[in-house]
């Protein structure tokens, strides 16, 4: 429901009802903002967007930028009252003690609605997290693989993972969290050549990614390198399970 108010009393009644019913409340109005708690701040009059969520979280945005200029991540109470031609919204957080006071002047535009969102949220991994999970669970790539070092320096370059396969052959592993292209293959090839030059032994080179381009596959074959596909969702589920205290193997996830 959207309303625009010039009358303070009408705006006050509408805002109180929306907040009491724990509805998402979006306010656009000229306002000043005062904050005190772990620090203090003062914001003079300007037109802003005030967002009050269903759990009481409150954010105040200026016309530009994506970050709020003031906010309360959680509130113990939100009080709305009027006086001297303004509406005063006081958001209090008890632990730690923080108080935010916004004073609104007409015209006041308000959108009030109840949102339903029960969807699950999956955060996929960044490159370093993929690398670290493989470090702890090399079996996701192949049985018998043993990782002994991450960010190994080879000829002045740094390869993501270094280890040995079940036959004792040295293995250099380069990890990508997005589709691997020819550039990634050439990067891995440099590591392999530098290792061979310094040790006299040719290692296996494995490129790890969720997918690879056709050009990358052709170049891998040409240079005698390997590709291993990983499922970021399964790796994330494993990470989440470990954070929660579980100890399930990545192999259990790969069968699902």
Q: What are the pLDDT tens digits along the chain (256 aa)? A: 999 999 999 999 999 999 999 999 999 999 999 999 888 999 999 999 999 999 999 999 999 999 999 999 889 999 999 998 999 999 999 988 999 999 999 999 999 999 999 887 666 688 899 999 999 999 999 999 999 999 999 988 899 999 999 999 999 999 998 999 999 999 999 999 999 999 999 999 999 999 999 999 999 999 999 999 988 888 887 777 765 554 444 344 343 3
Kindly report the CATH number assigned to the domain that includes residue 234. 3.40.1350.10
Q: Which residue, of 60, 84, 113, is where some domain finishes?
A: 113
> Is 120 within the bounds of a domain?
no
Q: Are 41 and 69 in contact (CB under 8 A)?
A: no
Residues 5-9: contacts with CB within 8 Å, 24+ apart?
5/106, 5/107, 5/108, 5/109, 5/110, 6/106, 6/107, 6/108, 7/106, 8/82, 8/85, 8/86, 8/87, 8/106, 9/82
Tell me what pLDDT residue 235 has.
86
Q: Mark whether 8 and 78 lie in a shared domain.
A: yes
Q: Mark whether 151 and 247 lie in a shared domain.
A: yes
Tell me what pLDDT residue 250 has.
39
Q: Mark whether 153 and 234 lie in a shared domain.
A: yes
DSSP state letter for 105: -
SS3 for 4-47 is EECCHHHHHHHHHHHHHCCCEEEEEEEEEEEEECCCEEEEEEEE
> Is 102 within the bounds of a domain?
yes
Q: Mark whether 67 and 108 lie in a shared domain.
A: yes
> Is 95 within the bounds of a domain?
yes
Strands, sheet with 146-154, edge to edge from the N-terminal-most edge strand: 146-154, 157-164, 170-175, 204-209, 226-229
Domain that holds residue 12: 2-113
Q: Name the CA dihedral angle for 154, 160, 166, 167, rounded to a multiple of 10 degrees.
A: -20
Q: Pairing relation of β-strands 86-93 and 98-104? A: antiparallel
Kindly report the CATH number assigned to the domain that includes residue 64. 2.70.180.20
Q: Mark whether 6 and 98 lie in a shared domain.
A: yes
Among residues 51, 54, 49, the alpha carbon closest in space to that of 65 is found at 49
DSSP state letter for 63: S
Tell me what pLDDT residue 155 has.
87
Q: Mark whether 139 and 204 lie in a shared domain.
A: yes
Q: Mark whether 54 and 101 lie in a shared domain.
A: yes
Tell me what pLDDT residue 199 has.
93
Q: Mark whether 171 and 95 lie in a shared domain.
A: no
When divided into structural domains, the chain yields a total of 2
Tell me what pLDDT residue 38 has.
81
Tally Cβ neighbours within 10 Å of residue 119. 6
Q: Mark whether 250 and 179 lie in a shared domain.
A: yes
Q: Mark whether 30 and 146 lie in a shared domain.
A: no
Tell me what pLDDT residue 114 has.
96
Tell me what pLDDT residue 243 has.
59
Q: Are 107 and 94 in contact (CB under 8 A)?
A: no
Tell me what pLDDT residue 116 has.
94
Tell me what pLDDT residue 44 has.
97
């Amino acid at each position: 429901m959207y309303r625009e108010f010039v009358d303070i009393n009408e705006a006050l009644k509408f805002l109180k009802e929306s907040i009491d019913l724990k509805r998402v409340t979006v306010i656009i109005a000229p306002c000043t903002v005062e904050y005190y708690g772990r620090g203090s701040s003062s914001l003079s009059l300007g037109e802003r967007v005030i967002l009050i969520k269903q759990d009481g979280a409150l954010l105040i945005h200026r016309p530009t930028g994506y970050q709020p200029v003031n906010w309360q991540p959680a509130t113990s109470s939100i009080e709305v009252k009027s006086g001297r031609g303004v509406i005063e919204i006081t958001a209090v957080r008890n632990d730690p003690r923080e108080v935010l006071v916004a004073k609104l002047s007409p015209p006041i535009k308000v959108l009030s609605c109840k949102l339903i969102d029960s969807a699950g949220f999956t955060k996929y991994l960044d490159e370093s997290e993929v690398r670290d999970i493989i470090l702890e669970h090399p079996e996701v790539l192949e049985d018998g693989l043993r990782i002994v070092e991450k960010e190994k320096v080879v000829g002045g370059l740094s390869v993501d993972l270094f280890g040995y396969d079940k036959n004792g052959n040295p293995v250099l592993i380069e990890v990508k969290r997005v589709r691997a292209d020819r550039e990634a293959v050439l990067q891995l090839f440099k590591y392999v050549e530098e290792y061979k030059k310094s040790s006299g032994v040719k290692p296996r080179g494995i490129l790890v990614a969720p997918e690879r381009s056709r050009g990358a596959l052709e170049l891998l074959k040409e240079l005698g390198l390997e590709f291993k596909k990983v499922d970021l969702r399964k790796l994330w589920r494993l990470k989440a399970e470990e954070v929660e205290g579980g100890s399930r193997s990545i192999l259990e996830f790969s069968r699902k």
